Amino acid sequence: MQHVIHAVNFDGANVEAAGSSSSGGSNYTFLIILLVLLVGLFFLSRRTQRKQKDAQSFRSNLTPGQDVMTASGMLGRIVDVDGDEITLESTPGVRSRWVRAAIAKVVEPTASTDAPAVTTSSDAQGDDVLEVPDDLSGLDGGSFKDDTHRPDESGKGDGAK
């Protein structure tokens, strides 16, 4: 609890005298908060600069034959590097040119298409195979509730008899 003494001097102005100065304590608190924020900004900027340097060194070391992913998510293999321009081959025979800065990361090589497909026992038995017909002619009429709206044999009309 703070005791404040009110006094009136000879000019008639009120004078307050406090046991401790409250403005001095708030100045130190403000300076401490400001110092903590500045230190935090310093560390964040250092972290950002480090990431930018790592990305720059990664992009400068790109070589043909590496499998990469662009920032937009396209996967491909580097075929040619010409200055700031990189040529990617996404599928055999399909090439596209990219700016070096668009390459986001190197990815693990994908499985070769020359490798034989591995079949599991459920695939060999055919239990999980779902056959989808190309048209509606192979479907049975089990989904119709009644025969009034069922197409006739020719597929035209509503088949009402």
Burial of 60 (0-12, 13-18, 19+ CB in 10 A): exposed
- The confidence score (pLDDT) of residue 98 equals 93
CATH number at residue 81: 2.30.30
- The confidence score (pLDDT) of residue 54 equals 87
Let me know if residue 95 belongs to a domain: yes
Q: What is the per-residue pLDDT across 21-51, written as a single tens digit (0 to 9) for each?
A: 455 678 889 999 999 999 999 989 998 999 8
pLDDT(6) > 90: no
* Tokens 């390459």 found at: 103
Let me know if residue 114 belongs to a domain: no
Res. 20 pLDDT band, cuts 50 70 90: very low
Let me know if residue 151 belongs to a domain: no
Q: Are 39 and 20 in a shared domain? A: yes
CA distance linking residue 27 with residue 115, whole number of Å: 72
Contacts 24+ apart (CB under 8 A), 79-84: none
- The confidence score (pLDDT) of residue 68 equals 92
Structure-block tokens of residue 161: 């008899």
Q: Are 53 and 8 in a shared domain? A: yes
Q: Are 14 and 29 in a shared domain? A: yes
**CA nearest neighbour of 59 among 107, 97, 99:** 99
Amino acid at 152: D
User: Cβ–Cβ contacts within 10 Å for residue 96, how many?
Assistant: 13
Q: Are 38 and 70 in a shared domain? A: no
Q: Are 45 and 25 in a shared domain? A: yes
- The confidence score (pLDDT) of residue 41 equals 92
Q: What is the per-residue pLDDT across 107-155, written as a single tens digit (0 to 9) for each?
A: 887 665 555 555 555 555 556 777 776 776 666 655 555 555 555 666 5
Let me know if residue 130 belongs to a domain: no
Rg (CA), the chain: 38
Reduce the DSSP state of residue 79 to 3 states and report it.
Answer: strand
Q: Are 73 and 48 in a shared domain? A: no
Q: Are 77 and 95 in a shared domain? A: yes
- Return the biggest CA–CA distance within the chain: 117
Let me know if residue 38 belongs to a domain: yes
Q: pTM of the predicted model, to two decimals?
A: 0.43
Domains: count for the chain: 2
pLDDT(2) > 50: yes
Full domain range(s) for residue 71: 63-106
Q: What is the per-residue pLDDT across 45-97, written as a single tens digit (0 to 9) for each?
A: 998 999 889 888 888 888 899 999 999 999 999 999 998 899 999 999 999 99
DSSP-assigned beta bridge partners for residue 100: none
